[in-house]
Amino acid sequence: MKKNSQNNFNPIKPKYSKIQYFFWLLSGCEINILKDCPTDYNRQAGIGFTIFMTTVLAFFSGSYAGWYFGESYVTAIIFGLLWSALIFSIDRSMVVTLKKDPTLKEQKFWAPLISRGIMALLIAFIISIPLELLIFQENIELHMDKYKLDQTYEVQQASMRNEAVTDKERILKRDSINAVQLKNELAFGEPQGDPIYTKLKDDFNKINNQYQTLLTALNKATKEANIAYNNVPLKFNSNNKDDNSNEWQKYQNKLIKKNIEKRKLNSFDKAALNKAKSEKDNYLSNWITKKNNDKNNLDNSVRIQSNDIANSIRKSDTIKNGFENKIKVKKGFVLRFMILEDLASSTKKNYTKDAKGKTIEKTIHNEEGATIVFLLWLIRILFFTIEILPTIAKISTPLGAYDFAIYEKEKEIEEDLERRKEDYLLHQKAIRELENSAHQEQIIEKNKIENELHSNMLKEIASAQNDVAKKQIEEFRDKHLK
């Protein structure tokens, strides 16, 4: 009776709704395992519902942005579907890749929360932008004309800044002319029309001419003495000069003249010459250094002024071109976002005119901007909370039956893979052993065949040698014994 009662026992299977099943699909859980864990039905369904809501919001956000890009319903729907599919895959991956380890006493909390929090923050900001534009659409429409007027004023200010560019161009022209003049002065190698340098140069040339005159006279006397010495004839049967000849007397006179010129040169005041040369060279060196420094300063000034002028013109052109582009897409997505950012500014510019009619720019506190900033951050925090909620729910909740079942299933798969790996390795080992055995048998069979061939070859060689020997013996008998 007891056995029959056990055979007739049918366990009651947990029930779940189609809505729960749908959200299970979105949550990325293993449904076959989850079916046996009824305590985790609602938790996994809640995670799937959060992902579903994020996907729906991403679809609306992408569709709204796609409308401004293509201005057609088809473009809006296609872009919304693609954008929602991307957000869905990212959110689902963030949850699926987060697993718990039942073997640990304390589960990891901060590492997965921070990594997924950064991703959730980026997604929340991106999703919230189109919805922010939709929420503040009335404010954007009201301030669009004012924003364009402000941009027009910036273009006017850029044109006014061209006056500063004109001043820099005058400075650039002046410095360029001065730099060319310095370059021409340096090309001469020395100052032109400088009375101080002219006096130093004249003093040096005067003393140097005196020194060169004495040096020339000494060189001339030395040359004449050498010529006279070479004209002196040699003594008879000797290599010595004949000091009794007239040429020797001429040589002595030339030598006396040479010594006189040498004493004159030695008595010359070389210190005065060196001093005059040093003063002239130092003055020239200082002049060249100063001119080079002045030229480098002018070159740097020219380069700086050129860069400033180019940057000013580029900035002015950028403002003008940007304004023209904004006019072309005056209802575009980017322009609306820029207007919203301008509205959210905590300060705003106010332009007034003084008694002389000069425009004065003042910065005042923007109360409306502070309110918009608060609402914008509230929306972004809300989206961030929605994005990070599945992660927090999965991290903060205690271990459930599904977590243990997943862990056990993974262990079974891991053990099965390890067992298959061992079987594969054993199979490969057996194959290698069979291959080695077959290879050894082939080697033995090969050696056996080679030995048989070698033996047969030796027998044939011996038989052939025996036949040759018999033939030679017969020939020997026929030739010598008969």
Among 76-85, 117-126, 277-286, 315-324, the range scoring the smallest mean pLDDT is 315-324
Q: Count structural domains, the chain.
A: 3
Q: Within this chain, do residues 269 and 230 fall inside the same structural domain, yes or no? A: yes
Query: In terms of domains, do 253 and 217 share one?
Result: yes
For 18-31, what is each residue's pLDDT tens digit?
998 998 898 888 88
Q: Do 247 and 311 sit in the same domain of this protein?
A: yes
pLDDT for 85 equals: 92
- pLDDT score recorded for residue 187: 73
- Is residue 5 situated within a structural domain? no
Q: Is residue 237 part of a domain?
A: yes
* pLDDT over 70 (residue 235): no
pLDDT recorded at residue 22:
92
94 and 23 within one domain? yes
Q: Is residue 236 predicted with pLDDT exceeding 60?
A: no
pLDDT confidence tier of residue 38, bands split at 50, 70 and 90: confident
pLDDT on residue 10: 47
**Average pLDDT score, the chain:** 77
- Between CA 428 and CA 419 the distance in angstroms is 14
Structure tokens given for 164 = 């500063």
How distant is the alpha carbon of residue 348 from its chain centre?
Answer: 38
185 and 312 belong to one structural domain: yes
Number of neighbouring beta carbons within 10 Å of residue 207:
19
In this structure, how many other beta carbons lie within 10 angstroms of the beta carbon of residue 394? 22
Per-residue pLDDT tens digits for 358-404: 555 666 666 777 788 888 888 888 888 888 877 777 777 777 787 78
Query: What was the pLDDT predicted at 6?
Result: 42
pLDDT at 436 over 80: yes
Q: Which residues contact 383 (CB under 8 A, 6 or more apart)?
A: 57, 123, 124, 125, 127, 128
d(CA 46, CA 386): 12
pLDDT tier at 141 (50, 70, 90 boundaries)?
confident
Asked if residue 395 belongs to a domain, the reply is yes
Alpha carbons 379 and 371: distance in angstroms, whole number: 13
Asked if residue 418 and residue 440 are part of one domain, the reply reads yes
209 and 305 both lie in a single domain: yes
For residue 462, is it within any domain?
Answer: no
Residue 137 has what pLDDT? Answer: 82
188 and 256 share one domain: yes
Same domain? For 127 and 249 the reply is no
Which is more confident, 205 or 49?
49
pLDDT in tens, 292-347: 787 788 778 778 877 777 777 777 666 666 665 555 555 567 777 777 777 777 66
pLDDT digits (tens, 9 = 90+) for 165-184: 666 777 777 777 877 777 77
Within-domain flag for 2: no
Whether residue 356 lies inside any domain: the answer is no
- 409 within some domain: no
Whole-number Å distance between alpha carbons of 250 and 241: 13
Residues 183 and 312 grouped into a single domain: yes
3-state SS of the chain is CHHHHHHCCCCCCCCCCHHHHHHHHHHCCCHHHHCCCHHHHHHHHHHHHHHHHHHHHHHHHHHHHHHHHHCCHHHHHHHHHHHHHHHHHHHHHHHHCCCCCCCCCCCCCHHHHHHHHHHHHHHHHHHHHHHHHHHCHHHHHHHHHHHHHHHHHHHHHHHHCHHHHHHHHHHHHHHHHHHHHHHHHHHHCCCCCCHHHHHHHHHHHHHHHHHHHHHHHHHHHHHHHHHHHHHCCECCCCCCECCCCHHHHHHHHHHHHHHHHHHHHHCCCHHHHHHHHHHHHHHHHHHHHHHHHHHHHHHHHHHHHHHHHHHHHHHHHHHHHHHHHHHHCCCCHHHHHHHHHHHCCCEEEEEEECCCCCEEEEEEECHHHHHHHHHHHHHHHHHHHHHHHHHHHHHHCCCCHHHHHHHHHHHHHHHHHHHHHHHHHHHHHHHHHHHHHHHHHHHHHHHHHHHHHHHHHHHHHHHHHHHHHHHHHHHHHHHHHC
Residues 152 and 25 in one domain: yes
Write down the pLDDT at residue 81: 93
Q: Verify that 136 and 218 share a domain, yes or no.
A: no
Domain with 418 in it: 414-450
Q: Report yes or no on 335 lying in a domain.
A: no
